[in-house]
Amino acid sequence: MPEDIRKTHVLTTIANYFGFDQDSISSLYNHRALGNFLDDANCPLLSATRGHKHSVDLANEIKTNEGTQSLVQFKVRPDIITPENVHTNIFLSSMVDSPLDSLYYIVKSIFTPAIRDDKSSNSSNQQIQTSLNELEQVLRAAGKKSNKSSIGNVFHPKDEIDYWSNIVRDTSNKDKDIDRAKYFLELFDPVKADFNKLENLSFAQLLDVIDKTQDVYDELWKQVEYDEYPEQRMKHLLSITSHAFVQAIQKQLITIDLWLDSKDSMKNREYIRNSITICERWSLAVEQLTGTYWRNYNPHLWKGEVFKPTYLLQFKKRLNEIISIRSSYEQSMRFSSSVNKENLSAKKVFAPFMNFNAIQIDSYTDSQWYFATNQFENLMGNTDRDVAKQLREHFQRIRSNPQQMLVDFKRYSDLIQRETIRKELASERELLLGQLESDIRSLTDELNNLTNGRIGMGGNKKSITRGVNRTIIAASLDASRQIETKVDNIINDGEKLLGDLTGYARVSSLAKQLKQDLIDWRKDKFHEWCQDTIRAIDDPKQELSLETSGRLMELNSSDGKLRVLYGDRLVTLLNEVRQLSSLGYDIPSKINKCVDIGKKFYQYGVELQAIAHFYNTIDTEMIPSQQSMMLDLAKAFESLVKDPKVSQRGGGRDASGQITWDNPEQLTRYISTLRGTAEKLKTENLKLRRHHLTIQQIVCSLMNTDLLREPHKWHQQVQDIRKIMDTLTNEGYSAKNMKPWRSFWDRQLYKALDLQYTNGLKALNENLPDIKIDLIFGEKTIQYKLPSSLQAQSSIEAIKATYYREMKRFLSIPLTFKGCSDVSSSGKHLIFQ
């Protein structure tokens, strides 16, 4: 019997779809359903469902069973199938899980993109697009509703958001489930818009989205208001988010030429590096979340292994390999002769990579990539030997400088990874291996120093450098992380440059052991800090735990210092907890409770500390001779400290009149009163200092004012001093309290007076005012006459009397000089007594 081309075509299609040999389904050749489909014009379809052990069931209707795999062949027109129309009248459609899911995938992946990309802009096309979008949303919701707990329909972060949205919209759900879903949607809100347009974002925007996504996922995991976010679902969310970021990067890179040089070569290279940065940022975020933050979060611990975004890491590796191949080629060309450059053009050596899309990661492209790299190595073989010779000569010249060798090895790392060059530089790489081993020993010594360090204590122990606001525990952990970063660099550089050497396994083992020691040390250090802090909280002598019902401040009876019962150690603890939390450590609840109380009253504590510091140091700001003038204000301030109820007016205080931390309203009023009194004390002190400085300038001026020639100036400036002091007396300062200050300036005036009086005595005769004498010659004698005398007479005694009177006026100045003191109250002149 001749072969039926129609049956052969249909069965071959079925065999190819299920991956069977055609002979294994030859028994279906005469199947009734197959004959009906081909020969009956009114039979619209043929459904082939995969059975057990390479069997296929045929039917003229669609049988839907969850998990079954089906292929449906259907007629476009109700005709009998002939050899002529077998290729034009039969359409194909596969069925996965359920008809709803299958229709959803067809609409989403085929028809919606096809119609969207159709250049036609007529109104019917627009209506179809709108209808398809609505249908897609309905099908998605229906598919998820049919299997609420499944994550199989979630392929993108925006699908996860839709999943929770559907729970909210479904009124048949329990209220608590709807509230939980609403809360999750609120947490997703900061990244919802970004996920919807992820593939259209720039590299800078993608980095910003990664930071926001890390924060959102952290809040999702750590929320305690509702049932926990399932770990398995979070793993899936991290996985699809990784794929979404890769897809966004691939869309950016698909338009650039990865291999051939052009005017945009630098820009293209920058695109690849930015892509690697995005991959590194997300892989680090995932590692921090699942390896540190969530693993130490007791309310919801991450129990599984640290999540590795495998696909994203493979993609990053491929990008690094592309950069490495391009870089090694360019470096080779710089070392090579012009002949090699002509024979090894970029178009020739990179031709093997142009036959496939290198940024797509799958088993097929992996094999193509491996084949292309081997071809590239073969093409570059002769050039690599020339390059290796030049590199060996270069490393021989700097052999005595191991650090420079390490720098240059990193510089030419892309070249050294090429097989031929690696072998040629074996001895130089052995030398580098020894240097890395020495570096590991040095880092081990740093860890030992860190372990034995005594930060902030005496002795010759090496202390840790820390920032101004960095706490000791945080600085210690930071130092260990810095050491670990150096160890990671050694591991990464060693694996890249020295991984094939026989001695590398031992060095790698030392480095990995040191890294583990650092991790263990940090755990032990944090555990030790927790234990010490909890003991300090329980110990009342440590004054770490704030007793909210206790007093605010107290005066030390031994030294008179004012001490706030909100200790510096508590302030340090607040900083420690804040910094440790930022490093991802989970703080014990007892410490958190103490810190929460401390935070609540931190503002009050800081204000009281500032007031106490002012009170304890105000005496150093006061001028000693003025301290008695500040006595009344100081007593008023002290009375507020000793008896806080003085600040209260009316009710609002307990029976004892004591103000405590746990009464914010009362505490605020008390601090306001204290601050006002302290401010008044400060203001008055500044005013008195200002007057003191003014008088000081006057007295210094008098030191240089001639008492004999300018007595009126002396008189005026002393009057100015007395006027300042009288003004203060009128302002309410008592004469008794001002006496020490007046006496001080009397002594200073005495010094100025003594200086100018002594200088005046030395030149008194030369500097006395001129005495005008008329010389008269008459009656055969010479006579002297003072102008003030009415009659001429020869009276030398009158002239002498005038001379002595002028001299006495200067000599008697100390007897009439009035200083600053109140003579009526003191009863004596301190200027000369």
Look up residue 374 and give its two tokens. Answer: 């081997």
Interval 499-538: pLDDT, tens: 888 888 899 999 999 999 999 999 999 999 999 888 888 8
The span from the CA of 643 to the CA of 542, in Å, is 25
pLDDT digits (tens, 9 = 90+) for 472-508: 888 889 889 999 999 998 898 888 888 888 888 899 9
Within-domain flag for 229: no
In a domain, 809, yes or no: yes
| 212 band by pLDDT with thresholds 50, 70 and 90 | very high
Question: Which pLDDT belongs to residue 497?
Answer: 83
Q: What is the pLDDT of residue 653?
A: 43
pLDDT exceeds cutoff 70 at 729: yes
Max avg pLDDT among 121-125, 155-159, 568-572 = 155-159
Residue 651's pLDDT band (boundaries 50, 70, 90)? very low
- Sequence letter at residue 362: D
**Domain presence at residue 780:** yes
pLDDT at 248: 94
User: What are the pLDDT digits (tens) for 570-591?
Assistant: 778 888 888 888 887 888 888 8
* Domain annotation covers residue 412: no
Residue bearing the bigger pLDDT, 821 or 226: 226
Whether 458 has a pLDDT exceeding 50, the answer reads no
CA distance 472 to 455: 7
Residue 238 resides in a domain? no
- CA distance linking residue 75 with residue 79, whole number of Å: 8
The reported pLDDT for the residue numbered 214 is 95
> What pLDDT sits at residue 31?
87
Confidence of residue 455 (pLDDT cuts 50, 70, 90): very low
Q: Residue 496: inside a domain, yes or no? A: no
Whether residue 160 is contained in a domain is answered as no
Task: Give 117's pLDDT tier (boundaries 50, 70, 90).
Answer: low
Confidence of residue 66 (pLDDT cuts 50, 70, 90): low
Residue 454: predicted pLDDT: 45
What are the DSSP calls for 675-732, one per residue? HHHHHHHHHHHHHHHHHHHHHHHHHHHHHTS-TTT-HHHHHHHHHHHHHHHHHHHHTT
pLDDT, tens digit (0-9, with 9 covering 90-100), for 381-399: 888 888 888 888 888 888 8
**How does DSSP assign 359-381, residue by residue?**
T--SHHHHHHHHHHHHHHHHHTH
Number of helices and strands (H, E) in the chain? Answer: 32, 8
Percent of the chain with pLDDT over 70: 85
pLDDT of residue 126: 67
User: What's the distance, CA 195 to chain centroid?
Assistant: 24
Could you tell me where the DSSP H helices lie in 197-260? 203-222, 231-253
Reference 441, options 513, 349, 540; nearest CA is 513
Largest CA distance in the chain: 191
pTM over 0.75: no
650 Rama class: left (phi>0) / alpha (psi -120 to 50) / beta: left
5 against 340, higher pLDDT: 5
State the Cα–Cα distance between residues 714 and 810, nearest whole angstrom. Answer: 13
Identify whether 679 is part of a domain. Answer: no
Angle at which helices 231-253 and 157-169 cross, to 10°: 130
Tokens linked to 307: 């999540």
Q: Which amino acid is at 137?
A: Q
Strand order in the sheet with 90-96: 56-59, 45-50, 69-75, 90-96
Structural domains of the chain, count? 1
Q: Which of 86-100, 185-199, 550-564, 654-668 has the lowest mean pLDDT?
A: 654-668
Q: How far is CA 658 from CA 62, 205, 666, 671, in A?
A: 85, 57, 10, 14
- Note the pLDDT tens digit of each residue in 684-705: 999 999 999 999 999 999 999 8
Whole-number pLDDT of residue 824: 55
Which tens digits make up the pLDDT trace of 136-148?
A: 667 666 655 554 5
Range(s) of the domain holding residue 784 = 738-826
Q: 426 and 498 in contact (C-beta within 8 Å)?
A: no
Contact criterion met (CB below 8 Å) for 264 and 256: yes
pLDDT at 456: 37
Mean pLDDT of the chain: 82
Q: Decide if pLDDT at 569 tops 50.
A: yes
Residue type, 40: D
Q: How confident is the model at residue 459 (pLDDT cuts 50, 70, 90)?
A: very low
pLDDT at position 831 over 70: no
